[in-house]
Structure 1
């Protein structure tokens, strides 16, 4: 019997389109994870002492390398996932934009910040930031470049080392990104990619890291969150979603239909922020539905490097069966299929038609459970208030989409219980706004990526307060009651001044 603590089986990566072998990589064990963290911990202090300007230069070179290796990365992403080329390019674009953004933002975010002291003039208070140490990233298969790298970039710029466990179905893309980071000048010890079994390698990373970043299912997120809580380490997780889209009476219906198609079926619906529920106001339900179904019927589903393909395949035959079972369950309970609702075996074993349903009953799994596939259902509502109420009836709160005139859309958006809301977009506007935080409410996760917190979460703060002339408790020899009277008067005066 093989001792899994010392050896691990090689991992064979196959293309979900046709099952052909794409490559093989070495699997890793708990012992390998411990060794990787030991190497990272030796290298990290040197990196933390490296000027931020040097780290910035490396990330800007990485930005250029990602773009210059665009086609190679697109081919690799498509081979591992079966997604269409435009969805693969979303990953290349995301990583390049993220690297550039944080390269320029890092110095300001990491600089010591002067804040108000305990006593004006007499107290000088500064907040300093230090890297947490070694960050663990556990990334999913649906975005093998973005999720393995875009969370690691700010962690590295903050002065940390990073150990990544990619999904076993898609490790080659993360390994290629590691090569590009090394070519950009990043020491190899600072970004290590360890493919291997999730329970073993992912569990070991959660046991070893100083901060854990996870993207995946809510069920696994809860398990890892419990581990992080037990160890008292920082934890950020983007988890599941059952994201709604609202079509208001004043929406541009043609634009809404096109946008809804992208919101529902980009990346074959295999993304946490895709739309799975559409609530249409009764005044425009007929017009929107006709336009939306026309958009769906015009979609090109297939494989290969053509930019004209609108949707690729699912990640595996097992996942296709999962999607089919959820749709069949809904139909058996009374749902009606308006488009799709079946596999496309003529294209390959993992292709499923873009699917639209209506009349989905509440007892169907599809009604409130995440499908993570090219499936959406429509409901007609009598008012915007009803649409908002239905949209918020979920354990999740990751993303939402509103189609309306901008003023109407903004009012609706502010009532939705979601970490990101897109007005006249599906998800890309909020996701692409890397200066703003992105993440989920409730069962959709905790913590945020993007924005200032997307980098500062990988740091520990140190407050340094220097007291001048007299102590906060008052000058030596001064009567304590007199001092308390003086301070009370000062506070009352200060309140009036600040009004």
Structure 2
């Protein structure tokens, strides 16, 4: 069926739609802010939260559903949150940074138990706030729970491995990982829980204190967790800051009191923010930035498999993933067959509301996002590209039907610009060096997908590609998991490495207590250990 504006419009529910009422949630009017271990009443201005879901009126007009509100926040309240974190860290003397790892693990386990008890509330808020399907919202929650559990296991193993003295060249030392200070944590809207916790949880468990700014889309989903944070951690360890990022974040960095900046966003923003810190050498940055991951389809590829994986890679959560495939480079000899297979796969995808069964494509977060996709598509078409699939690029309200765009060339924005949405740009090549050059000349170097069967071709191309990106996916889409694998990027794609174990290292530094290996020193150290005078100098194991 040809996807038309009328067909898209009819996918939105009316106010009396039974499915809408069954999926609906009661509006959340958040009026509390977690700062310094207190749920402080907010009496200032608030910001309404509009869902990607729109309601169709009797005259056919569309209106975004209002699902609640939250504090607008401002610079002054953000500074209050920062002051609380700075006081809790207390130059490394605070209760949290000096606490034994075993005690921090207990606090994290309390948090995890409280979080799991709120699964239904959080997952439905993910669905309503960002338009992710209910099934995928539940997967995000469950994956995040697994990540927290794996982090607890990893920090236990790390601490146990460090619970012994080393004697080298007449020096005895005990080496452990210690916190860095105050962390400013900012998560993205596309995985507002999982990507946020991938930095927040390791930062906390390593003894840092945190100022957390929720993403623009995905604020209310943290409301059910505010009391869980408050009850699990000491005052000032977790503090929420609300407001426009362009206003509050520069001010926070300009204080010089932020020790670690975590951001999932654009390299342009990250470059600007890092320069605002008055002591740049004291600022550690853990960043997940732009990505324009390419798929390279060789002439011997399994075309059916390549088409299926490329479509999944390009359109999972409407293409709103940093690991999404955002440029398909297909060998000219198989371009026609690949296009046919891709179109057939795309025709099977169901578009609709996020609670509907078997839906894959859902509304985008805002009308502005739809307009961005339309502008990129118009630019490509104006410069000679064609929309290959019927109805591709049709947009109504917050719904945008995916478009396969071909051939996309260097003059078009889609050739290099990260679309972060349901557009599938495609180009062809005859000389494999052209495909390799595309990856090599990209400003980003996160991942690539390579579709081929010849072991010699795969081996030789992998040798080149691993020096341009940080993960080469053979005959499958780009992805982050499993979470124990390193997740990072070259060039402007990332700074620092996130995985269960790598993240613990990213948010800490190795410190030691050392002495000459003499009888007096041994006696002192033995007494410290045996009488438990220190939370750092000990040889206890966490079981």
Q: Which TM-score tier does this pair reach, normalised by the shorter chain?
A: 0.7 to 0.9
Residue number in structure 1 paired with 2:237: 190
User: Which whole-Å CA distance do the structure 2 matches of 1:37 and 1:256 have between them?
Assistant: 48
User: Which whole-Å CA distance do the structure 1 matches of 2:198 and 2:225 have between them?
Assistant: 11
2:253 to 201, 206, 210: 206
- Does residue 1:274 correspond to 2:319, yes or no? no
- Does residue 1:99 correspond to 2:99, yes or no? no
The answer on whether the counterparts of 2:444 and 2:492 sit within 8 Å (CA) in structure 1 is yes
The answer on whether the counterparts of 1:165 and 1:194 sit within 8 Å (CA) in structure 2 is yes
- The CA RMSD over aligned residues, in Å, is 2.7
User: Which whole-Å CA distance do the structure 2 matches of 1:247 and 1:63 have between them?
Assistant: 43
User: Which whole-Å CA distance do the structure 2 matches of 1:69 and 1:424 have between them?
Assistant: 38
Instruction: After superposition, give the CA deviation of every residue in 1:191-249 in whole Å (9 maximum; x if it has no partner).
Output: 22222111222223334422110111122111112234744211111111111012233
Residue number in structure 1 paired with 2:361: 311
The answer on whether the counterparts of 1:317 and 1:350 sit within 8 Å (CA) in structure 2 is yes
Q: Secondary structure at the match of 1:144?
A: coil
The answer on whether the counterparts of 1:57 and 1:103 sit within 8 Å (CA) in structure 2 is no
Q: Secondary structure at the match of 1:262?
A: helix
TM-score (norm 1): 0.84
Unaligned runs of 5+ residues in structure 2 are 1-41, 55-63, 519-543
Instruction: After superposition, give the CA deviation of every residue in 1:120-156 in whole Å (9 maximum; x if it has no partner).
Output: 5423354332211221102222222123322100111
1:99-498, aligned counterparts within 5 Å?
99-110=148-159, 112=162, 120-182=168-230, 185-187=232-234, 189-207=236-254, 208-228=257-277, 230-231=279-280, 232-339=282-389, 340-345=391-396, 349-405=397-453, 407=455, 409=458, 411-416=460-465, 417-428=468-479, 431-468=480-517
User: Which whole-Å CA distance do the structure 2 matches of 1:162 and 1:90 have between them?
Assistant: 26
User: Which whole-Å CA distance do the structure 1 matches of 2:322 and 2:310 have between them?
Assistant: 15
Q: Secondary structure at the match of 1:130?
A: strand
Residue number in structure 2 paired with 1:24: 69
Q: CA deviation at 1:309?
A: 0.6
Q: CA deviation at 1:314?
A: 1.5
User: Which whole-Å CA distance do the structure 2 matches of 1:302 and 1:61 have between them?
Assistant: 38
TM-score (norm 2): 0.77
Are the structure 2 counterparts of residues 385 and 361 from structure 1 closer, same or farther at C-alpha, using a change threshold of 3 Å? closer
Q: CA deviation at 1:113?
A: 7.5
Q: CA deviation at 1:296?
A: 1.0
User: Which whole-Å CA distance do the structure 1 matches of 2:372 and 2:402 have between them?
Assistant: 15
Are the structure 2 counterparts of residues 405 and 464 from structure 1 closer, same or farther at C-alpha, using a change threshold of 3 Å? farther
User: Which whole-Å CA distance do the structure 2 matches of 1:227 and 1:272 have between them?
Assistant: 25
Q: Secondary structure at the match of 2:129?
A: helix
Instruction: After superposition, give the CA deviation of every residue in 1:152-188 in whole Å (9 maximum; x if it has no partner).
Output: 00111101122111123321123334344446x3346
Q: CA deviation at 1:451?
A: 4.3
Residue number in structure 2 paired with 1:38: 83
The answer on whether the counterparts of 2:439 and 2:445 sit within 8 Å (CA) in structure 1 is no
User: Which whole-Å CA distance do the structure 2 matches of 1:218 and 1:320 have between them?
Assistant: 22
- Does residue 1:10 correspond to 2:65, yes or no? no
1:53 to 102, 109, 123: 102
Q: How many residues align?
A: 457
Q: CA deviation at 1:455?
A: 1.3
Are the structure 2 counterparts of residues 229 and 306 from structure 1 closer, same or farther at C-alpha, using a change threshold of 3 Å? farther
User: Which whole-Å CA distance do the structure 2 matches of 1:414 and 1:173 have between them?
Assistant: 43
Residue number in structure 1 paired with 2:17: none
User: Which whole-Å CA distance do the structure 2 matches of 1:399 and 1:364 have between them?
Assistant: 22
User: Which whole-Å CA distance do the structure 2 matches of 1:248 and 1:414 have between them?
Assistant: 16
Residue number in structure 2 paired with 1:479: none
Are the structure 2 counterparts of residues 357 and 459 from structure 1 closer, same or farther at C-alpha, using a change threshold of 3 Å? same
Q: CA deviation at 1:253?
A: 2.3
The answer on whether the counterparts of 2:370 and 2:395 sit within 8 Å (CA) in structure 1 is no
Q: CA deviation at 1:63?
A: 4.2
Q: CA deviation at 1:317?
A: 0.8
